[in-house]
Amino acid sequence: MVRQGVIPPYLLERIAGAAPREASREARLTLVADQRLRVARTLEADDGARPGGRGGLHREISDAGGSEDLPGRLVRKEGQDTVDDVDVNRAYDGLGATYGFLDDAFGRSSLDGDGLALEGTVHFGSAYDNAFWDGSRMVFGDGDRKVFNSFTSSLSVIAHELGHGLLQYTTNLAYEGQSGALNESFADVVGVMVEQHALGQTVHEATWLIGEGIFAPGIQGAGIRSLAAPGTAYDDPILGKDPQPSRMDGFVRTREDNGGVHMNSGIPNHAFYLAATELGGHAWERVGRVWFETVAGGKLDDRVDFVGFARETVVTARRLFGLHSDEEAAIGTAWRTVGVGAQ
């Protein structure tokens, strides 16, 4: 006889009210419309000669059709009109918003600085609860629709995957332990900044959430991670409670998840948030620039730990903004607040 526990609540049909679904769809549509506008503005501004002969924006979205075969069938490429598939269009727009952000904020053309084509695949797998970067493209599952919506539902998730791609072409932080958590954290930082840039938000207007809109109706959670308050993004009978620490005294030691890379990223995530909100304005103009230049500068060891990364961000802040600058002070204080010595 099969001895099983109760049917996992994960599988239980959720009774979802129509109102929240409509509300969240409205929010997503607004977000997509906003990001489309911003990309259009960026592209208009970039029209004409590009310094340094950089390549332009080139996107290709493919459809895996529920299989796990990559890349799938090409369904929309650069310049083509919207298609009758919201996931294709959201992936296309999300890649464009991320390209526009990197170009506008850091003068970088795509992930490699030379106009690398941005490729994505949607409808990967069956009810697949994940999005990932496979080393050359972003891949999005449809979600099971009971706990997770489609993984194209959140611009911050799309941009998070591109953040991993950006690291691959700058400092490919080793994906385990503290360097792995820094890899995850940097991807989150890119994720929130792309969303803030698309919405024109200052640090005080932003939600600082990764994955807003990713949960199906009825799930108790604002998103999958909060940089403002790690450990508070969700608390749900099905999912449990967000396990992220915000300080070193909560550092999690585990073999799973490459040494808890998605948990311990809460610590550097919160340091970024603290420094950014201390300085005000747009995140990418000061602290975001420091984080970007730290990984793009070519001096960072790919196995760097939290203390080493913190030290490099302080060095970069001095180089970009000056000794004893507000930026250096805010970043040093933020790292100390989360229990990471930066001196």
Partner 1 sequence: MRVSVSRSGGVTGIPRRAAVEFVMRGERSPSDNEWAGLYRAARSQTDQLQRDSGNGLARDAFQWTVQLGRQRLEVPDSTLTGPLRQLAERVLAEGG
Binding residues vs partner 1 (CB under 8 A): 1-8, 10-11, 129-136, 148, 151, 157, 160-161, 164, 168, 172, 175, 183-184, 187, 211, 214, 224-225, 239-240, 256-258, 261-263
SS3 323: coil
Please tell me which residue in 161, 184, 212, 327 is annotated as part of the active site.
161
From the CB of 51, what's the least distance to partner 1, in Å?
Answer: 30
Q: How far apart, in whole angstroms, are the C-alpha atoms of residue 148 and residue 306?
A: 31
Residue nearer to partner 1 on the CB measure, 187 or 279: 187
From the CB of 43, what's the least distance to partner 1, in Å?
Answer: 28
Q: How far apart, in whole angstroms, are the C-alpha atoms of residue 107 and residue 98?
A: 12
From the CB of 287, what's the least distance to partner 1, in Å?
Answer: 23
| H-helix or E-strand spanning residue 289 | helix 287-296
Residue 262 bears catalytic tag: yes
Report the Cα 312 to chain-centroid distance in Å. Answer: 22
The residue count for the chain = 343
Q: How is residue 278 written in tokens?
A: 């201390």
Residue nearer to partner 1 on the CB measure, 227 or 275: 227
Please tell me which residue in 123, 164, 197, 262 is annotated as part of the active site.
262
Using DSSP bridges, classify how beta strands 73-77 and 131-133 pair: parallel, antiparallel or unpaired. unpaired
- CA distances, 276 to each of 47, 114, 269, 279 (Å): 31, 28, 11, 5
Residue nearer to partner 1 on the CB measure, 144 or 285: 144
From the CB of 2, what's the least distance to partner 1, in Å?
Answer: 4
Residue nearer to partner 1 on the CB measure, 258 or 337: 258
- CA distances, 326 to each of 106, 204, 248, 283, 287 (Å): 20, 18, 24, 14, 11
Give catalytic residue positions. 161, 262
